[in-house]
Structure 1
Amino acid sequence: MTTETENNTTSLTLAAVERFNEAFNRHDVNAVMNAMTEDCIFENTNPQPDGTRLVGADDVRAYWKKFFTSNPDAVFETEEAFVSGDRCVVRWIYRKTKEGKPWHLRGVDIFKVRNGKVSEKLAYVKG
């Protein structure tokens, strides 16, 4: 049986992830970082096979600044989101222009939310 507290936590988790994703698609580094905790963890998908693990707001902020500069038309489209408590899984399509042509990649992010902010974002891709 789901309790009101569990429903509230799930709602807050989804709101935090949506706030993060909206800021990301605006390429707003400050808003992205305001949506993350100071001790946040971000695991990128590169280099394969394990990606890179960044810990702390300073390192994550530096990554996003570089990412947005290098990928000025990048957007993530949510295909589906699953939320349970403080965890959220988002299936997405990442779109951008690569070598002058439309390009996309599909993947999954696993989020953990604490106190209304993203504390972990672990990214995985197909292929």
Structure 2
Amino acid sequence: MEPIMTSGSFSDAESVQTETILERFNQVFLTHDPAALDDLVADDCVIENTQPAPDGSRHEGKAACIALWRGIATMQGAHFEPESIIARGDRGEIRWRLVWGADHASSVRGVNLMRVRGGRIVEAQGYVKGA
């Protein structure tokens, strides 16, 4: 597996912290091990998920966000291919491809737009490329 590219990140302390949190978060999905989520997700976290169209589902609070991400991280027969992580202050983005089959048509590219506060994720909006 190729390392995640982190081009475009800023080098100020807040950006470095955000990038570190997003890299740790991304590892949950690459390793299918959601154990780190408890330390990464804030009590007041809010997720706007990629599905269902057109706006995705909204998940509020630490328990709801962890439950959603745990389910995604442990999906059988699927894996994420990382593309990049970019951090700017308290904001960041993770670009990825979700693969669930052998051919290219059995995958989708997406991005998570994230916000970090106090070393924890407080906001995530997920988007995927559609037809």
Mark yes or no: TM-score above 0.5: yes
1:65-104 alignment runs, 5 A limit? 65-69=70-74, 71-97=75-101, 101-102=102-103, 103-104=106-107
In the superposition, relative to structure 1, how do residues 85 and 61 fare at CA in structure 2: closer, same or farther (>3 Å)?
Answer: same
In the superposition, relative to structure 1, how do residues 34 and 72 fare at CA in structure 2: closer, same or farther (>3 Å)?
Answer: farther
Partner of 1:51: 56
Gaps of 5+ in 1: 1-5
TM normalised by structure 1 equals 0.81
1:86-125 alignment runs, 5 A limit? 86-97=90-101, 101-102=102-103, 103-125=106-128
Gaps of 5+ in 2: 1-10
Percent identical residues: 36
Give the superposition deviation at 1:68.
4.3
Instruction: Work out whether 1:23 is the aligned partner of 2:28.
Output: yes
More strand by share: 1
Match of 2:19 among 6, 11, 14: 14
User: Whole-Å Cα distance in 2 between the matches of residues 64 and 124 of structure 1?
Assistant: 15
Paired residue secondary structure (2:59): strand
User: Whole-Å Cα distance in 2 between the matches of residues 115 and 39 of structure 1?
Assistant: 12
In the superposition, relative to structure 1, how do residues 34 and 24 fare at CA in structure 2: closer, same or farther (>3 Å)?
Answer: farther
Q: Is 85-94 or 22-31 further displaced after alignment?
A: 22-31
Decide which structure has the larger Cα Rg and report it: 1
- Native 8 Å contact 1:81 1:88 kept in 2: yes
User: Whole-Å Cα distance in 2 between the matches of residues 66 and 14 of structure 1?
Assistant: 23
CA-based RMSD: 1.8
Partner of 1:3: none
TM normalised by structure 2 equals 0.79
- Equivalenced residue count is 118
Give the superposition deviation at 1:25.
2.1
Paired residue secondary structure (2:12): helix
